[in-house]
Amino acid sequence: MGHTDAVAHDPSDRVRRGHLPALRAGRNSRSSEPEERRVDIMDVSPFADGAAYVKGRFVPIAEAAIPVTDWGFTRSDAVYDVVHVFGGGFFRLNDHLDRFTRSMQARRLNPLEDRAAIEAVLHRCVALTGLRDAYVAMVASRGRPRVTGSRRPADCDNHLIAYAIPWIDVIPKDVQERGAHLWIASTPRVPDASVDPTVKNYQWSDLTSGLMEAHDHGYDTAILCDAQGFVTEGPGFNIFIVKDGKVVTPDRGSLHGITRKSVLELCAMMGIPAQVAPLPRAELEDADEVFAATTAGGVMPVSRVGGRILGNDRPGPVSLALKEAYWRKHAEGWHHTPVRPLEFA
């Protein structure tokens, strides 16, 4: 213990660590550096790993921080949204901004930036990184009370955080290819009346417990049922089943996902019957096909649910057709908003 503390408080270690971001950021390069090394360092954009907006300033992602006393951290008192950028454009940006606005209103969060300013911040975060494909988050945090020790949410200065980082798949691409293995968690989803799942939030204890159960059993990810035995959602995605050619996604315990909306629209275009309806656990276990859907990954086929192997242990045909259509429509410019160049962002 003492040894660990000594290492953590070694000032030379702090200095060493303190230098790293500056060097990566291409700043403070020292004249003692060899010439070629200095050139390399200067070539690296400070925003290459991501750009963030915190307390009114744009900073490299590694420098983005909030105070430890922010209620967004101490109480998960925050709402957020995530939109992706694919091929240089946002996908369904207005839908994400609409949902973020509804989430903020539901939790009485009111940062200084209005909708147009939030939109501009998102464009600028992406433009700073130069990324063509990105994961872009917007967060409204309760902040800290103006009156020390106050327990009144209304005493806090709410604030906006946003960031753009390289693309993320919540289920890795190789796992999507073979079909994800989905564990049905024993942890029930928190009741809708306690934490409204349509307000995108960071209260993830139940979802994280599900993930830990899944990993303990050698599965890729988890799906949670509510206390009444109805299927809800997983850590970062909505779930769909296909039974006798019909697509069903749960009507409760889950976020109104923007990808879910896209899947339902694609089903309508492709003549596939689809429904938002109660989904008892037994129907998930008896499905012909299962797939997950999220902004950070798109349509992600599942090949195993609990102990059951679906089809031939590979993604099913309806799931694959929807996945193909989802990305083809992206390439065709469906719901695409080009990222504003830096000079206009």
Could you give the count of Cα atoms lying within 13 Å of 7 in the half-sphere of its Cβ?
A: 3
Minimal distance, residue 97 CB to ligand PLP, in Å: 12
For ligand PLP, the closer of residues 159 and 260 by Cβ is 260
Minimal distance, residue 228 CB to ligand PLP, in Å: 19
259 part of the interface to ligand PLP, by CB under 6 A: yes
97 part of the interface to ligand PLP, by CB under 6 A: no
Contact 211, 234 (CB under 8 A): no
Binding footprint of ligand PLP, residue count (CB under 6 A): 14
Minimal distance, residue 163 CB to ligand PLP, in Å: 15
For ligand PLP, the closer of residues 25 and 322 by Cβ is 322
249 part of the interface to ligand PLP, by CB under 6 A: no
Using the rule CB under 6 A, give the single segment among 18-26, 135-143, 180-188, 290-298 that binds ligand PLP: 290-298
Query: In angstroms, rounded to a whole number, what is the distance separating the alpha carbons of residues 28 and 20?
Result: 10
Using the rule CB under 6 A, give the single segment among 171-179, 252-260, 266-274, 336-344 that binds ligand PLP: 252-260
The dihedrals phi and psi of 171, each to the nearest 5 degrees, come to -120, 120
236 part of the interface to ligand PLP, by CB under 6 A: yes
Q: Write down how long the chain is.
A: 345
Minimal distance, residue 238 CB to ligand PLP, in Å: 5
220 part of the interface to ligand PLP, by CB under 6 A: no
From the list 48, 61, 79, 82, which residue makes contact with ligand PLP (rule: CB under 6 A)?
Answer: 82
Taking the mean position of all CA atoms in its chain, how far away is CA 245?
30
Minimal distance, residue 144 CB to ligand PLP, in Å: 26
For ligand PLP, the closer of residues 176 and 238 by Cβ is 238
238 part of the interface to ligand PLP, by CB under 6 A: yes
299 part of the interface to ligand PLP, by CB under 6 A: no
258 part of the interface to ligand PLP, by CB under 6 A: yes
Distant-in-sequence contacts of 321-330, Cβ < 8 A, 24+ apart: 321/270, 322/263, 322/266, 322/267, 322/270, 322/272, 322/291, 323/291, 323/298, 323/299, 325/266, 325/269, 325/270, 326/259, 326/262, 326/263, 326/266, 326/298, 326/299, 327/298, 329/266, 330/86, 330/87, 330/91
- Does the CA dihedral 194-198-200-204 come out positive or negative? positive
Query: Other C-beta atoms within 10 Å of 80: how many?
Result: 19
Residue identified by tokens 């019909």 is 246
From the list 138, 214, 255, 290, which residue makes contact with ligand PLP (rule: CB under 6 A)?
Answer: 255
- Does the CA dihedral 173-324-87-97 come out positive or negative? negative
Q: Which residues contact 322 (CB under 8 A, 6 or more apart)?
A: 263, 266, 267, 270, 272, 291, 299
Minimal distance, residue 76 CB to ligand PLP, in Å: 13
Using the rule CB under 6 A, give the single segment among 38-46, 183-191, 220-228, 293-301 that binds ligand PLP: 293-301
Instruction: Give the binding site for ligand PLP (CB under 6 A).
Output: 82, 233, 236-238, 254-255, 257-260, 293-295
